[in-house]
């Protein structure tokens, strides 16, 4: 069986280091590993509109921002298909048919959707489109028969929902020869990367919460954000013992610091374990740790920012890449949709055998 990657992002803002740690960095590695037959990367504009219906300009503007972030990180249009969700109308058709396989109470139980409804103050009036976006996400994942979906932890309930739809669809419509493919989520290995917290210490760095370090941030912006970061409120004096739990600076170091960073910027410590031990013992100030984190992140983000600036010099080329990718994705979606419709017995005009059998029934 082919090994196929599908993943994507909502164009609700530029991408941040949470995306990078949670999914982007991994995607680039997988793309370059040569182990996958296809890589599809989707800009989920239709999904972004489910909670930004009154702000289409925001979604439109962020298409190119997200695409620039992709290219800057190393996603390569020669190896990966970069496309825009709304341009693949087949996804709407798939969503419509999958809706029959999911109950309202099942959607209501989705913990990520629950949290997002709260965050957006949607309790009293949830748009139907937003409520059902996990079903449209199943269409996104299944149209290309994706086997592997590299995502952050918040996406696990969506993959679970997709699996249920795949199993139900195959059981009901294609018991002998499955049409849809069961996808697997691929989470980052490091705990810190699964759900990177915001610079304010909130549970998740998220475009919607404004607590992000963006991949496109300038060196100064990065430094200012790091210096203002949430650490340990009990660590008032350098000599006080510090706490690591919920300490965002150390969580970011977990996600990004490598041994060679210590050699370059903080040679008095061999690795993060030694730094942590000193911090919890007392006698290590937050400013020193933040300066180290700043060095680490500047080193990681500078080449990305520079590549972004280069790609931004030819914006029409970015749209050209997305158009080509969308055309290619659409062909694949049309093929899957045709298999789906055949399995569901709604392929009336393609089934000459059936038309003949019906005509015979009437001739009797
Ligand atoms: P929004 O607030 O509009 O939902 P977002 O910041 O949550 O934006 P998404 O576009 O929803 O970003 O997520 C894209 C991908 O990035 C998903 O795979 C998601 O799991 C991952 N991701 C987003 N935020 C984080 C984070 N803080 N840590 C790890 N992964 C993340
Ligand atoms: Mg999100």
Q: Which helix (H) or strand (E) holds 83?
A: strand 81-84
Q: Are 223 and 253 in contact (CB under 8 A)?
A: no
Ligand 2 center to 48 CA (angstroms): 9
First to last CA, the chain: 45
Q: pLDDT at position 119, please? A: 85
Ligand 1 center to 282 CA (angstroms): 35
Nearest alpha carbon, ligand 1 atom 26 = 18
What are the extents of the domains in the chain?
A: 4-195+315-356, 219-311
How many whole angstroms separate alpha carbon 301 and alpha carbon 214?
Answer: 9
Probe residue for ligand 1, chosen from 8, 15, 16, 19 as the CB with the greatest number of ligand atoms within 8 Å: 19
Nearest alpha carbon, ligand 1 atom 16 = 19
Q: pLDDT at position 154, please? A: 93
* CA distance readout (Å), 120 to 9, 134, 209: 18, 17, 10
How many whole angstroms separate alpha carbon 350 and alpha carbon 354?
Answer: 9
The per-residue pLDDT for range 279-328, each reduced to its tens digit, is: 999 999 999 999 999 999 999 999 999 999 999 999 999 999 999 999 99
How many whole angstroms separate alpha carbon 295 and alpha carbon 264?
Answer: 9
Would the CB of 204 count as within 6 Å of ligand 1? yes
Handedness of CA 18, 165, 148, 68 (dihedral sign): negative
Would the CB of 206 count as within 6 Å of ligand 1? yes
Ligand 1 center to 9 CA (angstroms): 7
Instruction: For residues 52-69, give the mean pLDDT.
Output: 97
Q: Which two tokens stand for residue 91?
A: 């996804």
Give the confidence band of 210 by pLDDT, cuts at 50, 70, 90: confident
Q: Which two tokens stand for residue 217?
A: 């941030």
Mean residue pLDDT across the chain: 96
Ligand 1 center to 229 CA (angstroms): 20
Report the nearest atom of ligand 1 relative to the CA of 195. Answer: 28
Tell me the three state secondary structure of residue 319. helix
Instruction: For residues 97-113, give the mean pLDDT.
Output: 96
Given the structure tokens 């190896």, which residue do they identify?
79
Q: pLDDT at position 364, please? A: 78
Backbone angles phi, psi at 334, to 5 degrees: -65, -40
The per-residue pLDDT for range 112-130, each reduced to its tens digit, is: 999 999 888 888 899 999 9
Using alpha carbons, select from 8, 249, 46, 213 the residue that is nearest to residue 129. Answer: 46
The CA angle 305-306-309, to the nearest 5 degrees, is: 90
List CB contacts of 345: < 8 A, sequence separation 6 or more.
173
Report the nearest atom of ligand 1 relative to the CA of 16. Answer: 6
Ligand 2 center to 113 CA (angstroms): 10
Instruction: For residues 224-249, give the mean pLDDT.
Output: 94
How many whole angstroms separate alpha carbon 350 and alpha carbon 295?
Answer: 62
What pairing do the DSSP bridges indicate for beta strands 81-84 and 148-150?
unpaired
How many whole angstroms separate alpha carbon 53 and alpha carbon 204?
Answer: 23
Give the confidence band of 209 by pLDDT, cuts at 50, 70, 90: confident
In this structure, which ligand is nearest to the CA of 157? 1
Helix %, strand %, coil % for the chain, to 5? 60, 5, 35
Q: How many helices (H) and strands (E) does the chain have?
A: 18, 5
Give the confidence band of 1 by pLDDT, cuts at 50, 70, 90: confident
Handedness of CA 216, 218, 221, 227 (dihedral sign): positive
Q: pLDDT at position 222, please? A: 98
DSSP 237-272: STTSPP--TT-HHHHHHHHH--HHHHHHH-TTSSSH
Q: pLDDT at position 122, please? A: 87
Q: pLDDT at position 203, please? A: 82
Would the CB of 207 count as within 6 Å of ligand 1? yes
CATH classification number, 219-311, choose in 3.40.309.10, 1.10.357.10, 1.10.3720.10, 1.10.240.10 = 1.10.240.10
Q: Count Cβ atoms below 10 Å from residue 250 Cβ, excluding itself.
A: 24
Probe residue for ligand 1, chosen from 154, 157, 204 as the CB with the greatest number of ligand atoms within 8 Å: 154
For the chain, give the percent of residues with pLDDT over 70: 100
Ligand 1 center to 152 CA (angstroms): 7
Nearest alpha carbon, ligand 1 atom 20 = 152
Report the nearest atom of ligand 1 relative to the CA of 197. Answer: 27
Nearest alpha carbon, ligand 1 atom 13 = 9
Q: Which two tokens stand for residue 272?
A: 């993060």
Backbone angles phi, psi at 83, to 5 degrees: -145, 165
Q: Which helix (H) or strand (E) holds 12?
A: none
Report the nearest atom of ligand 1 relative to the CA of 24. Answer: 16
Question: Higher-confidence residue: 363 or 267?
Answer: 267
Would the CB of 205 count as within 6 Å of ligand 1? yes
The per-residue pLDDT for range 151-208, each reduced to its tens digit, is: 999 999 999 999 999 999 999 999 999 999 999 999 999 999 999 999 999 888 988 7
Q: pLDDT at position 149, please? A: 97
What pairing do the DSSP bridges indicate for beta strands 38-43 and 4-9?
parallel
Q: Count Cβ atoms below 10 Å from residue 327 Cβ, excluding itself.
A: 13
Nearest alpha carbon, ligand 1 atom 19 = 152
Give the confidence band of 56 by pLDDT, cuts at 50, 70, 90: very high
Would the CB of 25 count as within 6 Å of ligand 1? no
How many whole angstroms separate alpha carbon 72 and alpha carbon 303?
Answer: 8
| CATH 3.30.2020.30 fits domain 4-195+315-356 | no
Nearest alpha carbon, ligand 1 atom 8 = 207
Q: pLDDT at position 121, please? A: 87
């Amino acid at each position: 069986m082919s090994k196929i990657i599908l993943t994507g992002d909502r164009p609700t803002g530029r991408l941040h280091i949470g995306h990078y740690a949670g999914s982007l960095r991994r995607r680039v590695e997988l793309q370059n590993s040569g182990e996958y037959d296809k890589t599809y990367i989707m800009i989920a504009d239709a999904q972004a509109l489910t909670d930004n219906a009154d702000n289409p300009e925001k979604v439109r503007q962020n298409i190119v921002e997200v695409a620039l972030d992709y290219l800057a990180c190393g996603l390569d249009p020669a190896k990966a298909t970069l496309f825009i969700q709304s341009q693949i109308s087949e996804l709407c058709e798939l969503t419509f048919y999958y809706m029959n396989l999911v109950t309202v109470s099942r959607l209501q139980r989705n913990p990520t959707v629950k949290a997002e409804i709260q965050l957006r103050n949607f309790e009293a009036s949830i748009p139907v489109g937003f409520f059902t976006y996990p079903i449209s996400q199943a269409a996104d994942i299944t149209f290309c028969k994706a086997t592997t979906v590299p995502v952050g932890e918040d996406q696990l309930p969506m993959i679970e929902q997709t699996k249920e739809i795949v199993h139900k669809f195959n059981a009901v419509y294609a018991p002998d020869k499955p049409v849809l493919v069961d996808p697997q989520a691929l989470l980052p290995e490091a705990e810190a990367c699964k759900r990177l917290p915001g610079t304010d210490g909130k549970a998740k760095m998220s475009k919607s919460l404004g607590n992000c370090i963006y991949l496109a941030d300038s060196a100064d912006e990065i430094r200012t954000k790091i210096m203002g970061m949430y650490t340990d409120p009990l660590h008032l004096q350098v000599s006080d013992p510090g706490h690591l739990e919920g300490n965002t600076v150390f969580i970011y170091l977990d996600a990004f610091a490598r041994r060679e960073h210590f050699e370059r910027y903080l040679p008095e410590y061999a690795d993060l374990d030694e730094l942590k031990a000193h911090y919890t013992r007392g006698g290590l100030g937050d400013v020193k740790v933040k300066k180290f984190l700043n060095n680490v992140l500047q080193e990681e983000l500078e080449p990305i920012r520079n590549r972004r600036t280069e790609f931004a010099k030819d914006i029409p080329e970015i749209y050209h890449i997305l158009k080509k990718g969308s055309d290619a994705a659409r062909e694949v979606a049309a093929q899957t949709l045709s298999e789906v419709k055949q399995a569901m017995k709604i392929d009336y005009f393609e089934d000459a055998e059936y038309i003949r059998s019906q005509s015979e029934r009437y001739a009797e």
